[in-house]
């Protein structure tokens, strides 16, 4: 049997740069949540996010191809979730406020809104990018103002599986109503729109370095800030919000969210392979697109034809038509699952039913099980947040594009650990799973 092919695994540099920086942290006794690696990692991240590639439009029009650059600052933090939390605080979100967030996402986009006693307002997706639908966004803004007398305090679009949202229209709408944008680019590190990195369009941009993201620090995150003042505010909240006295004096509630110098060492090493990782994710996507092109009923989630879109393809996603029969489909959802699908970290609450009122179609579940028997990890798409019991009763503006995608979609392995041979094997397994 082949080794298990995982969805997306951490992948260290060939020359062990991560260990070199981690060793330096130990050798110099900087085993704390600050230090040379944290500073160095932030500098590397700033260089990366501030580089604007000559836009595809410039190439088309034969325009000025000189590379421009931005002046954003980056604060390294203990997690991407912490970055979302601090961005909300920096936007002045308080208990009772409303924050607009893409419904089709991982829970870390919306949970921090709840940490603050604020209320998420969920916005549905457009069919092309699977991300926040600009028309629904505007409808939500106008309707919330009408119903509550106030505008939402922030807008959180999410680069789902790395796909850029419509940066142009979302930013135009946000600016029209004067609402700050917090870009959740946790999955979209290095994805670009018109040559510019996601996370640099809004007031804040969230990155994650969890074990399965584009690069890892074992666990960690960062917040991209527009300027040094904002970065200072975020850093202050991330380090317990202290005032300048010889003793600990606090005028606000702070957090212990700074990144460890040991983790940042891993991050510095990972920055040397980030470009190669992005290139490999794109390569794997292209190969899936080629090999699955003539498999009837299976459709890869592709990037829009508009040349401004440049996805990192963190995960490769696809959909399967409802009428495609998969081997073993009659047994799908017959048994209660006793372990977590996907990230098995931590504790998962046991359940006593095998189904919920909103779940992937039976052929999607059957495909997941079939592929697992072939030692390939496939996973359902994120279940929309407005369909989660924990958010029952939250305001929602949607055409249910994301709910319908959730029923037919699945994720395929991607990333530097997936070889061309793996992709060919995975595609052959999918073909074998389909009942002719």
Ligand X SMILES: *Cc1c(COP(=O)(O)O)cnc(C)c1O
Residues lying near ligand X in the complex (CB under 6 A) are found at 79-81, 105-106, 108-109, 158, 184, 186-187, 208, 210, 221
Least Å distance, CB 380 to ligand X, is 14
Nearer to ligand X, 370 or 391 (CB): 391
Least Å distance, CB 173 to ligand X, is 21
Least Å distance, CB 210 to ligand X, is 4
Nearer to ligand X, 38 or 186 (CB): 186
* Nearest of 182, 222, 211, 191 to residue 99 by alpha carbon: 182
Do 202 and 181 contact (CB within 8 A), yes or no? yes
Least Å distance, CB 232 to ligand X, is 22
Nearer to ligand X, 82 or 324 (CB): 82
Least Å distance, CB 50 to ligand X, is 22
Determine the Cα–Cα distance for residues 227 and 97; give it in Å rounded to an integer: 25
Do 128 and 408 contact (CB within 8 A), yes or no? no
Do 165 and 182 contact (CB within 8 A), yes or no? no
Nearer to ligand X, 222 or 291 (CB): 222
Least Å distance, CB 186 to ligand X, is 3
Nearer to ligand X, 184 or 362 (CB): 184
Using the CB atoms, write b or e for 395-421: b if 16+ within 10 Å: bbbbebbbbebbbbbbbbbbbbbbeee
Least Å distance, CB 2 to ligand X, is 27
Nearer to ligand X, 55 or 110 (CB): 110
Nearer to ligand X, 33 or 80 (CB): 80
Least Å distance, CB 109 to ligand X, is 5
Q: Residue 2 burial by CB count (10 A; 0-12/13-18/19+): exposed, middle or buried?
A: exposed
Coil, strand or helix at 136: helix
Nearer to ligand X, 326 or 414 (CB): 414
Nearer to ligand X, 213 or 374 (CB): 213
Tokens 């994720």, residue located: 411
What is the rounded (10 degree) CA torsion for 137, 141, 147, 152?
110
**DSSP β-ladder status, 119-123 and 395-397:** parallel
Nearer to ligand X, 55 or 78 (CB): 78
Query: Which residues have CB under 8 Å from 264's CB, separation 6+?
Result: 21, 35, 37, 38, 40, 41, 76, 217, 220
Least Å distance, CB 24 to ligand X, is 24
Least Å distance, CB 83 to ligand X, is 7
Cα-based distances in Å from 276 to 8, 29, 207, 283: 15, 31, 18, 10
Please spell the DSSP secondary structure of 216-257, one letter per residue: -SSS-EEEEESSHHHHHHHHHHHBT--BSSSS-B-SS---B-
Determine the Cα–Cα distance for residues 48 and 69; give it in Å rounded to an integer: 10
* Nearest of 70, 40, 87 to residue 206 by alpha carbon: 87
Cα-based distances in Å from 3 to 6, 196, 258, 370: 9, 38, 36, 16
Q: Which residue has the closest beta carbon to ligand X? A: 80
């Amino acid at each position: 049997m082949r080794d298990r092919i995982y969805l997306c695994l951490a992948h260290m540099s060939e020359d062990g740069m991560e260990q070199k920086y981690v060793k330096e942290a130990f050798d110099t006794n900087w085993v704390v949540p600050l230090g040379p690696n944290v500073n160095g990692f932030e500098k590397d991240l700033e260089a990366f996010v501030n580089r604007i590639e000559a836009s595809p439009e410039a190439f088309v029009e034969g325009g000025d191809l000189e590379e421009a650059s931005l002046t954003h600052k980056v604060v390294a933090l203990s997690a991407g979730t912490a970055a979302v939390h601090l961005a909300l605080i920096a936007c002045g979100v308080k208990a009772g406020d409303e924050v607009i967030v893409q419904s089709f996402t991982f829970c870390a986009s919306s949970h921090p809104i709840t940490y603050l006693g604020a209320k998420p307002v969920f916005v549905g997706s457009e069919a092309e990018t699977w991300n926040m639908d600009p028309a629904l966004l505007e409808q939500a803004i106008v309707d919330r103002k009408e119903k509550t007398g106030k505008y939402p305090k922030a807008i959180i679009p999410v680069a789902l599986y790395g796909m850029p949202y419509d940066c142009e229209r979302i930013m135009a709408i946000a600016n029209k109503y004067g609402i700050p944008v917090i870009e959740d680019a946790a999955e979209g590190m290095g994805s670009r729109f018109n040559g510019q990195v996601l996370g640099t369009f809004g007031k804040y941009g969230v990155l994650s370095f969890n074990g399965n993201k584009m690069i890892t620090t074992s666990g960690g995150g960062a917040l991209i800030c527009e300027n040094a003042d904002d970065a200072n505010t975020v850093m202050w909240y991330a380090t317990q919000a202290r005032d300048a006295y010889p003793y600990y004096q606090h005028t606000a509630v702070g957090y212990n969210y700074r990144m460890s110098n040991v983790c940042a060492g891993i991050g510095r090493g990972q920055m040397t392979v980030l470009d190669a990782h992005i290139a490999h994710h794109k390569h794997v996507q292209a190969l899936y697109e080629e090999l699955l092109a003539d498999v009837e009923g299976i459709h890869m989630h592709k990037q829009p034809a508009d040349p401004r879109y440049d996805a990192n393809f963190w995960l490769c996603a696809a959909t399967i038509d409802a009428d495609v029969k998969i081997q073993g489909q009659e047994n799908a959802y017959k048994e209660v699952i006793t372990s977590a699908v996907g990230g098995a970290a931590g504790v998962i609450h046991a359940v006593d039913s095998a189904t919920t009122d909103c779940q992937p179609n039976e052929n999607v579940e059957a495909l997941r099980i079939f592929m697992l028997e072939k030692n390939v990890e496939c996973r359902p798409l994120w279940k929309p947040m407005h369909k989660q019991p924990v958010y029952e009763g939250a305001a929602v503006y949607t055409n249910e594009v994301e709910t319908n995608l959730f029923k037919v979609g699945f994720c395929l392995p991607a990333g530097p650990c997936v070889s061309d041979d793996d992709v060919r094997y995975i595609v052959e397994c999918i073909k074998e799973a389909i009942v002719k």
